[in-house]
A and B are shown apart, each in its own frame.
Chain A
Amino acid sequence: TAGITQAPTSQILAAGRSMTLRCTQDMRHNAMYWYRQDLGLGLRLIHYSNTAGTTGKGEVPDGYSVSRANTDDFPLTLASAVPSQTSVYFCASSDGDNSPLHFGNGTRLTVT
């Protein structure tokens, strides 16, 4: 079925190492987002992209970078992981400003 695919599903990463979380959608949505979800907190936006070739910073961008080379792919990179980046990461896409978000299944990341 069409949707958003995230990889990996889970990962344990040593502090100081780098990692790229992958996100691919096949719905041709212009807007894509990266969120992190932590216990007791609402989803927090890390970075977003309104269209291919453009990106923007969300609420908690420090320590993360993104790129949007084409419509389908929106990878999230942690250059040098720290334990506070332990979280569940969700990629999402939408068809327009007021359109609902479609979420991937998430990546559970543990930084040790």
Chain B
Amino acid sequence: GQNIDQPTEMTATEGAIVQINCTYQTSGFNGLFWYQQHAGEAPTFLSYNVLDGLEEKGRFSSFLSRSKGYSYLLLKELQMKDSASYLCAGMDSNYQLIWGAGTKLIIKP
């Protein structure tokens, strides 16, 4: 079956770095997406990886290892506004997205 696993909740301190992990099993693979979702709001796109390696976008970076079925989202210099849920989604061979349940990130001052 197809599955996405990510931690339910993480806590980090303002100014620090946090890594949110995601493992995936999909029928075929057409990329891995990360979305941010603030409470009561819509998900918004953060990153897309289809090749192995690290993609950096400002304070946020995303990593992919296709051989391990593994991705992580790295958030640096954490700010209070980064408190949100982070959704990992894998795209299968039919270009359908398989979604994880999301990781709720709590930032403490």
A-B contacts, CB under 8 A, total? 44
Q: Taking the nearest CB of chain B, how far is it from the CB of A11, in angstroms?
A: 16
Interchain CB contact under 8 A, B97 and A45: yes
Answer whether A98 and B4 are a contact pair too, CB < 8 Å, given A90-B43, A103-B42, A106-B42: no
Chain A residues with CB under 8 Å of B41's CB are 105-106
Answer whether A105 and B48 are a contact pair too, CB < 8 Å, given A42-B99, A97-B30, A98-B31: no
Interchain CB contact under 8 A, A98 and B95: yes
The count of residues in chain B whose C-beta lies closer than 8 Å to any C-beta of chain A is: 23
Q: Taking the nearest CB of chain A, how far is it from the CB of B92, in angstroms?
A: 11
Could you give, for residues 1-45 of chain B, a 1 whenever the CB lies within 8 Å of some chain A CB and a 0 otherwise?
000100000000000000000000000001101010000011111
Q: What DSSP secondary structure best describes chain A's contact surface?
A: loop
Answer whether A100 and B99 are a contact pair too, CB < 8 Å, given A42-B4, A42-B87: no
The count of residues in chain A whose C-beta lies closer than 8 Å to any C-beta of chain B is: 16
Interchain CB contact under 8 A, A103 and B44: yes
CB-defined A-B contacts under 8 Å, sample of 22: A40-B101, A42-B89, A43-B87, A43-B89, A43-B97, A43-B99, A44-B99, A45-B97, A97-B30, A97-B95, A98-B31, A98-B48, A98-B50, A98-B95, A100-B45, A100-B48, A101-B43, A104-B42, A105-B41, A105-B42, A106-B41, A106-B42
